[in-house]
Structure 1
Amino acid sequence: MSAGHHTSWKIPEAHRADPAYVEAGAAIALGQAVYDRRMALEIDQGTLAERTGISLADIERIEGGGTAPTFPLLRVLAAALDAKLDVSVDVEDTRVAFTPHTA
C-alpha cells in the first residue's frame, strides 16, 4: 500500500498577519495534494471532474491553488480520490494529506 501524499506550506514570518497570504498558502497546499493524489491514481483532470461532478475548469483552479474550497467540496474531493483528507492549520504552516483508503 502506498503512503499518503503530504503537502506543506510554511508561512514566512513577515506574512503571518496577512490573511490573504495565509489563505493563498493553504489553497496552494491543497492544490498540490490533489494533484499528487490524482497522479498516484493515474487519472487525468477530466476523470476527476467526472468523479466529483464539478467542472474541469474548477479542478484546474483547485490544483493551481486558485481557490479555497468549501468543506462539502473537500468531502467530494476525498471521496473521488478514494482517500481520507487531513488538513492541519497552524500559525506558521498548513499541512494537507490525502491518505488512501485500505482495501
Structure 2
Amino acid sequence: DLEALTIESDRAKARGIAERCAAKLLFGLSREQLLRFGQVVELSDAEISEVVGWSHRDGWSARAGSGPQTAPGRGRCLLKIGNRPGLPVYLEPTEREKSLGNTDARFAMEEQPA
C-alpha cells in the first residue's frame, strides 16, 4: 500500500520496485486500490472486476448454527506476470491455516449445563 508510506521518496522507491517486479499477486483489493495500482501495472477492466467481485458475499448474513463462515475472497488471488492477462488462482488453506485465521474463535461458546 503505497499510501501508507509517509515520505514521498519511500513511495517512489516502492513504485519502482513494483514496476520492476515481473510477478505480482493481487489479493482482495477494492476497485479504488486497483485503479491506483493500475498506474504502476497495466490492469484490464476484466481483471479489476474479477478481483473486486471476490469480496462480495452471496447473502446478507450467515444462518445461525450453519457452522464457520468463509470470508469472501479467501484464498483467491490474481497472478499477474508482466503485462500478460492475469490468471485467477484459488489457494485452499490447510486446516492449520484455517484455525490461524479464525478471528471468531473467542466468541464460540460451549453449551453450559442447566
Same topology, TM > 0.5: no
Please state which band the TM-score falls in when normalised by the shorter chain.
under 0.3
TM-score (norm 1): 0.25
* More helix by percentage: 1
TM-score (norm 2): 0.24
Higher relative contact order (CA 8 A, sep 6+): 1
* More strand by percentage: 1
